[in-house]
Amino acid sequence: GAVVSQHPSRVICKSGTSVKIECRSLDFQATTMFWYRQFPKQSLMLMATSNEGSKATYEQGVEKDKFLINHASLTLSTLTVTSAHPEDSSFYICSARDDRGGWDNQPQHFGDGTRLSIL
Amino acid sequence: DAKTTQPNSMESNEEEPVHLPCNHSTISGTDYIHWYRQLPSQGPEYVIHGLTSNVNNRMASLAIAEDRKSSTLILHRATLRDAAVYYCILTETSYDKVIFGPGTSLSVIP
């Protein structure tokens, strides 16, 4: 089945560091990918929609200069948390839809998440 | 976006069937009903989806009410590995954003 790979699975770094998280669709092309953030015991919160070849669309309240998204190819989107601080510590998850599905209502495929801990 | 409501939590005994309800009274005629689940410390995984007719796959069954204002995810024999948060979500097309509500936390008792 369709697989989405996220890397790294876990990051621990010092405050002020910028951290890049990769999201790859391994066996399909994805013009559109999504980035979510999840705090402990809460549901997933959509942060942004990543579009190949164009600017990402951010949800209300998400700082675009803080969370840089690049979708340079049909199989790779990256999320960079710039100058990370302890409050950015969270579980970050990406998802992608298979372009072959067209408008047909196919499911999203999710990565296994990246646990980011800022000290 | 049409919203869904689910119970916060449910319990089931192992090897018994589980019926997870979802209400979506404002569903539109073109909204699909999707179910995802999230195991601890993992990303969500797709379970099943449908539009009007009941659906079966290897993981579960989806029973959709005739008026489409509610649906039920059925796990035929709960196992310990089915302990997860289950999310019922409506989307109109594949291009729609998948917006997660609180979901139902399912506990499976050995």
- Of chain B residues 33-92, which have a CB less than 8 A from chain A? 34, 36, 38, 41-46, 49, 51, 85, 87, 91-92
> From first to last of its 119 residues, what are the pLDDT tens digits of chain A?
669 999 999 999 999 999 999 999 999 999 899 999 999 999 999 999 999 988 999 999 999 999 999 998 999 999 999 999 999 999 999 999 888 876 567 889 999 999 999 99
Structure tokens at A15: 């405050």
> Nearest CA to CA, how far is B56 from chain A (Å)?
15
Structure tokens at B18: 């589980």
Which of B44, B51, B94 lies at the smallest CB-CB distance from A103?
B94
CA B32, B54, A96, A118 dihedral sign is positive
Structure tokens at A109: 């495929």
3-class DSSP state of A11: strand
Q: CB-based contacts of A60: which residues, under 8 Å, 6+ apart?
A: none
* A105 touches B: beta carbon within 8 Å: yes
